[in-house]
Amino acid sequence: MTLAKRVSTAARWPVGIALTGWRYMWRTTPVHRWELSGSASVDAAPELPEGVDLSELQRTSDGAGPLVHRLYRARIVGSSLTPERLLRRMTDDLDAVAPSEFASFQKVQGGRRLEVGDEYTVRMPGPYDGPVRVIAAAPTSFRLATLEGHLEAGQIEFRIGSDHRSLEFTIESWARSGDRFSDLLFTRLRLAKEVQLHMWTSVLARVVELSGGRIEGGMVITTRRVDPAELSGDTRESEDRKTDRKLAALSALEVNFDMSRIDEYTPESGWHVDDMVEALPHEPSGPPVDGGSWSVCRGLMVEYQLADPTVVRAFYRRDAPLAGRDMLLRIRFLGLPIGVGVRVGEVYEETRDVDGRRAHVFGWSYATLQGHFEQGRMHYEVWKWLDTGEVAFRLRSFSRAAEAGAPLLGAGFRLLGRTNQLRFYRQTCRRARRLTEAELEVAHTMTRRG
């Protein structure tokens, strides 16, 4: 790259960031973003194909920080192109689908057609250049691997599928930060993450334009994060020793209300009693289907994925059984991070007869411990009605402000807690549906990727 061209690229940076921010704020296409915890086995990057040049590759094992498995998806309707023709248009000039205000895809090795072994550099001002190599290419997909000097270590795949009425364009990436400095940019500083998200959603939008069709249902971004502790084989969900100590201390605490008087905890006696239901994707009638929405939601419940991690994050021993599990919840309340303890009680799975209908139900509950600013119990349940195949997530709870504990927190919860509590409940129900849908889509995508 000539000096003049690099100076020109660098000069675009301030204007590019301004345009990026403007377009990000005024984007009219809906973007649905869902984050959940992943696992090292399920979210590992694909094996590198045999026969490819492995020199200078940055594998995920070479990186730092968490492993992030991310899917960006858009369904395209109204296009006359086949997946093969659309991918050919895209790969004939990758730079045409780049967000030109701050990034450029430049081919540095290879001929006009995209082939295995070709190399590109994603040019961005400052230290953000990203060298990559094509490691797989097919009529409807291609995959890139990062090279030494890239901010990330991993792979990214672009593919196009179709059904009888639409195309589905997917970008799937498996990456860790390239080094500890990059990890600081991506994990601790939100700007780098948001710039990256904007870049790939911009690519989605430009591919839709290239197809001549339009997006149906908005863009969907699903992020599965695997913590470094799990990548290294540590089975504990823990960030540091201080968290370990707080988690261990929960075993000495008691539940902060009288479990023998549950029948008395009613609205008339000053308790909040809530019961919310969220419909999930249908299944065929009969018992729960392996890999269907009921079993997917069950797994999300067991792994405590339904709470928004920006609001509530749970720390617990992954090797501990669900029944009796102590969990340290880090809750953001009134802008402050607050650590409180809960204990899982009953865990149940059974078939029930309800008004002449049979339903298969899995559920578990947890109760608040001493020191929590609330007192009460919450049930998570997933139901399947065997006659119709209807599936639903159900949240039940009784609660009130704790009688003991920090006076300031107690006062804050009495004044503002109920509004935040109901918002959290509704958000949890909504996440149950959307994460179940997202997990089913991920499973479908992985099956098609084969």
pLDDT tens figures, 293-349? 999 999 999 989 999 888 888 989 888 899 999 999 998 876 778 889 999 999 999
pLDDT: is 227 or 366 the higher one?
A: 366
The mean pLDDT of 7-12, rounded to a whole number, is: 48
- Bridge partners (DSSP) of residue 69 are 174, 224
Confidence at 34, pLDDT banded by 50, 70, 90: confident
Dig out the tokens for 148 from the structure: 């030494």
- Please, what is the angle between helix 83-92 and helix 190-211, to 10°? 120
Mean pLDDT (the chain) is 85
Rounded to whole angstroms, what are the CA distances from 98 to 23, 124, 175?
14, 11, 20
The domain tally of the chain equals 2
227 and 271 both lie in a single domain: no
What pLDDT is attached to residue 41?
82
Confidence at 236, pLDDT banded by 50, 70, 90: very low
What pLDDT is attached to residue 193?
66
What pLDDT is attached to residue 164?
76
159 and 260 both lie in a single domain: no
Dig out the tokens for 16 from the structure: 């590019």
The residue range of the domain holding 75 is 3-231
Percent of the chain exceeding pLDDT 70 equals: 82
Q: Which of 124-128, 228-232, 273-277, 428-432 has the lowest mean pLDDT?
A: 124-128
Confidence at 238, pLDDT banded by 50, 70, 90: very low
Q: Is residue 384 part of a domain?
A: yes
The CATH number linked to 352 is: 3.30.530.20
pLDDT: is 20 or 393 the higher one?
A: 393
What pLDDT is attached to residue 105?
86
Q: Which of 164-168, 286-290, 351-355 has the lowest mean pLDDT?
A: 164-168
pLDDT: is 402 or 287 the higher one?
A: 287
Confidence at 187, pLDDT banded by 50, 70, 90: low
337 and 366 both lie in a single domain: yes
Residue 113 sits at φ, ψ, to 5 deg, of: -80, 145
The last residue of a domain, from among 231, 255, 290: 231
Dig out the tokens for 412 from the structure: 């804050």
Residue 41, burial from CB neighbour count under 10 angstroms (0-12, 13-18, 19+): exposed
Residue 381 sits at φ, ψ, to 5 deg, of: -140, 150
pLDDT: is 259 or 416 the higher one?
A: 259
What pLDDT is attached to residue 308?
86
198 and 271 both lie in a single domain: no
pLDDT: is 226 or 322 the higher one?
A: 322
279 and 218 both lie in a single domain: no
What pLDDT is attached to residue 377?
97
The kind and range of the H/E element at 365 are strand 357-368
170 and 273 both lie in a single domain: no
The mean pLDDT of 137-157, rounded to a whole number, is: 94
pLDDT over 50 at 3, yes or no: no
What pLDDT is attached to residue 237?
42
pLDDT over 80 at 9, yes or no: no
What pLDDT is attached to residue 10?
46
324 and 373 both lie in a single domain: yes
Query: 89-92 long-range CB contacts below 8 Å, 24 or more apart?
Result: 89/210, 90/158, 90/207, 90/210, 91/142
The last residue of a domain, from among 183, 213, 231: 231
What pLDDT is attached to residue 31?
82
Residues 199 and 128: their CA atoms lie apart, in Å, by 13
Rounded to whole angstroms, what are the CA distances from 237 to 298, 313, 320, 364?
20, 11, 11, 20
Q: Is residue 416 part of a domain?
A: yes
List Cβ neighbours of 177 (8 Å cut-off, separation of 6 or more). 63, 64, 65, 151, 152, 153, 183, 185, 186, 187
Written as one string, the DSSP assignment of 111-174 is: -SS--TT-EEEEE-STT--EEEEEEEEETTEEEEEEBTT-SEEEEEEEEEEE-SSEEEEEEEEE
Written as one string, the DSSP assignment of 15-54 is: HHHHHHHHHHHT--S-EEEEEEE--TTTSPPPPPPTTS--
pLDDT: is 191 or 159 the higher one?
A: 159
What pLDDT is attached to residue 180?
76
310 and 429 both lie in a single domain: yes
pLDDT: is 196 or 247 the higher one?
A: 247
47-106: pLDDT as tens digits: 999 999 999 999 999 988 889 999 999 999 999 999 999 999 999 999 889 887 667 888
247 and 132 both lie in a single domain: no
265 and 202 both lie in a single domain: no
pLDDT over 60 at 151, yes or no: yes
pLDDT over 90 at 26, yes or no: no
From 350, 317, 168, select the one nearest 235 (Cα to Cα): 317
Percent of the chain exceeding pLDDT 90 equals: 54
Q: Is residue 322 part of a domain?
A: yes
Dig out the tokens for 206 from the structure: 């430009």
pLDDT: is 24 or 225 the higher one?
A: 225
Q: Is residue 236 part of a domain?
A: no
The last residue of a domain, from among 231, 263, 295: 231
pLDDT: is 411 or 145 the higher one?
A: 145
Written as one string, the DSSP assignment of 419-444 is: HHHHHHHHHHHHHHHHHHHHHHHHHH
Q: Tell me how crowded residue 447 is: count the other CB atoms within 10 A of its CB.
A: 9
Confidence at 242, pLDDT banded by 50, 70, 90: confident
99 and 182 both lie in a single domain: yes
The kind and range of the H/E element at 399 are strand 391-401
